[in-house]
């Protein structure tokens, strides 16, 4: 929520989220819940991209399969990977007057190339987003109002006994898991 709250959002905007991890998927839903007209998702997991297309109606780009993110297209770009390549793609995807939210956690020593004239010419706003613990109420409100649905994003429900298998790497293909503390219904 903190990152979204830093953006100046308007209903007519087109947004792109780069990164199909759990947080990127949450950004897709949150931007839509906040009224952004079009939200697209770029990532590398065909399964996650299909889920987001089917459940949330977003256009997707599978960059691992060679899909190209369109340049000069988006008013809002959320970079949720933290990789210099995707950071450069985020800047390239912007149109004039756009905002870029750098949410992905980069290696502290990482750098990416940016054309400073492009920032000037496009009149870009580039914003970082660090942790902010004061947004929980807004997030809970979105969940309670059914504006954000996390259930399709959860790949596994684990018992306490399965946690060790997960942490030791014996459980594969876990995207996001919930640990059930008890089985009381």
- Domain residue spans of the chain: 2-134, 154-185
Q: Which two tokens stand for residue 181?
A: 């503390």
Query: Is the whole model's pTM more than 0.85, yes or no?
Result: yes
State yes or no: pLDDT of 130 exceeds 60: yes
Could you tell me the pLDDT band of residue 184, with boundaries at 50, 70 and 90?
low
- Encode pLDDT of 11-52 as tens digits: 999 999 999 999 999 999 999 999 999 999 999 999 999 999
- What SS3 class is residue 173? coil
Q: CA torsion sign, 123 to 95 to 63 to 154?
A: positive
Q: Which two tokens stand for residue 18?
A: 């780069």
- Encode pLDDT of 71-85 as tens digits: 999 999 999 999 999
Residue 159's beta-bridge partner residues?
180
State yes or no: pLDDT of 185 exceeds 70: no
For the chain, the residue count is: 185
d(CA 49, CA 19): 10
Class of domain 2-134 (CATH, top level): alpha beta
d(CA 183, CA 17): 36
């Amino acid at each position: 929520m903190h990152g979204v709250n830093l953006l100046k959002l308007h209903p007519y905007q087109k947004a792109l989220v780069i990164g199909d991890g759990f947080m990127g998927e949450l950004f897709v839903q949150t931007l839509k819940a906040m009224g952004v007209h079009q939200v697209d998702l770029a990532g590398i997991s065909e399964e996650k991209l299909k889920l987001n297309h089917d459940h949330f109606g977003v256009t997707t780009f599978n960059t691992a399969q060679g899909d190209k993110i369109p340049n000069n297209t988006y008013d809002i770009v959320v970079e949720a990977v933290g990789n210099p390549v995707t950071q450069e793609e985020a800047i390239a995807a912007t149109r004039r007057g756009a905002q870029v939210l750098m949410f992905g956690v980069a290696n502290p020593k990482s750098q990416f190339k940016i054309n400073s004239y492009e920032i000037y010419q496009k009149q870009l706003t580039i914003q970082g987003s660090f942790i902010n613990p004061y947004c929980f109420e807004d997030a809970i409100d979105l969940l309670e109002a059914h504006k954000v649905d996390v259930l399709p994003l959860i790949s596994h429900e684990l018992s306490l006994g399965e946690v060790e298998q997960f942490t030791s790497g014996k459980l594969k293909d876990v995207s996001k898991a919930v640990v059930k503390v008890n089985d009381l219904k």
